[in-house]
Amino acid sequence: MRIINIVGARPNFMKVAPLHRAMAADPGFEPVLVHTGQHYDEMLSAVFFKELELPPPDIFLGVGSDTHARQTAAVMQAVEPVFLARRPDLVLVVGDVNSTLACALVASKLHIPVAHVEAGLRSFDRRMPEEINRIVTDAVSDLLFVSEESGVANLQREGIPPEKIHLVGNLMIDSLEAHRAKAARSPILDTVGVQPKGYGVVTLHRPSNVDGRDALQRTLQALAAIQAELPIVFPIHPRTRGALAQFGLEDTLARMPNLRGIEPLGYLDFLQLVQHAAAVLTDSGGIQEETTYLGVPCITLRDTTERPATVTLGTNVLAPLDPAVLAGHLRRILRGQWKQGRIPPLWDGKAAARITAVLRSHAIPPRA
């Protein structure tokens, strides 16, 4: 079975890596790796291929950054001839980035079956472009691989036939377990000058938190309160760094004595940094899952989450960008009063094996 695996942005790499390896080791599969180039710099792309032991992509489209519409259109234009030339039996997309949506739409219009990994996740906030990508990708997919039980319920409510839906666990955890021992050898804690459980980690890149002067100033006020409670390591996403420069707020961040802003980290360094943190504050989706699995307290700086198992079962809470609220949360963490959490079902490092088993048993005929 020839399967084209699509990657485009940093969150995709951790999900595709264990699955691509499992397919490459199985003579029943002929995996083809296509990188759209949505994230294309060293720290957001190339280093992840190296550290996750992904082979170089068979095809690199080099789309790069742009507006949502232009980037989605560029991926669609670039990938269509690839699908026509390679004639895959299935196109597999992961997550909720623009490349996910674009490739699912092109495959669907060419009557090529589509599998979506991480299907069914819903924040119920359509102001998030990722939410639109999730809904549309699921609607055109033939196999929907779900990471947590809420996703099954969401898809059923949207009228997806039950035979298309498969609860398989979380590929992020497959990657985490496969590389945890290697991450333990990272010197990152010494590099940034922190001790285990003596610091917090912050990541921020969502438009609602960093796009626009007012949003960014609110974020910086929250960061000032956070770093007054606990030393903070802040790997600064290129989007966030660009906004700081655009609005002349770099000095505001630099004047925070207990916050260390650093360049984005590779997968292994970041995993080591997170698993030894006292707390993580983020607006990322995947980090909510990693902290729940690792048992690290997580404060998600959003009103909603598409990963509710991290809140109902795990170590995550949702919080506004309110300095008093965030300081209160950190004090509870430092006093040891945070919830313990537990690992959601099937988050056991075996999601790739479950997905390939489903693919072997569900030979999908081409659409008429």
Domain contains 163? yes
- Which residues are bridge partners to 143 per DSSP? 115
Same domain as 165, residue 300: no
Pairing outcome for strands 114-117 and 232-235:
unpaired
Same domain as 148, residue 40: yes
What CATH number did the domain enclosing 193 receive?
3.40.50.2000
Marked catalytic residue, from 39, 116, 166, 205: 205
Domain contains 343? no
Domain contains 226? yes
Same domain as 354, residue 305: no
Same domain as 98, residue 152: yes
pLDDT of residue 207: 84
Domain contains 34? yes
Per the structure, the complete domain to which residue 76 belongs is given by 2-169+350-361
162 secondary structure, DSSP code: G
Handedness of CA 30, 32, 33, 38 (dihedral sign): negative
pLDDT of residue 365: 47
pLDDT of residue 348: 98
Domain contains 345? no
Q: Global pTM?
A: 0.94
**Rounded Cα distance, 189 and 229, in Å:** 19
Closest CA to 54 of 96, 5, 101: 5
Give, for 298, the enclosing helix (H) or strand (E). strand 298-300
pLDDT of residue 367: 47
Same domain as 254, residue 221: yes
Domain contains 339? no
Same domain as 105, residue 12: yes
Q: Check: CB of residue 5 under 8 Å from CB of residue 86.
A: no
Same domain as 252, residue 117: no
Same domain as 319, residue 356: no
pLDDT in tens, the chain (368 residues): 999 999 998 889 999 999 999 999 999 999 999 999 987 665 657 788 889 999 999 999 999 888 999 999 999 999 999 999 999 999 999 999 999 999 999 999 999 999 999 999 999 999 899 999 999 999 999 999 999 999 999 999 999 999 999 999 999 999 999 999 999 999 999 999 999 999 999 999 888 888 889 989 999 999 999 999 999 999 999 889 999 999 999 999 999 999 999 999 999 999 999 999 999 999 999 999 999 999 999 999 999 999 999 999 999 999 999 999 999 999 999 999 999 999 999 999 999 999 999 999 975 544 44
Q: Check: CB of residue 106 under 8 Å from CB of residue 76.
A: yes
Same domain as 149, residue 16: yes
Domain contains 162? yes
Say whether 111 is catalytic.
Answer: no
Same domain as 329, residue 204: yes
pLDDT of residue 212: 87
Same domain as 279, residue 192: yes
pLDDT of residue 368: 43
**Number of domains making up the chain:** 2
pLDDT of residue 177: 97
Rounded to the nearest 10 degrees, the angle between the axes of helix 10-24 and helix 351-361 is 60
CA 29 to chain centre: 25
Same domain as 136, residue 75: yes
pLDDT of residue 274: 98
pLDDT of residue 363: 59
Domain contains 146? yes
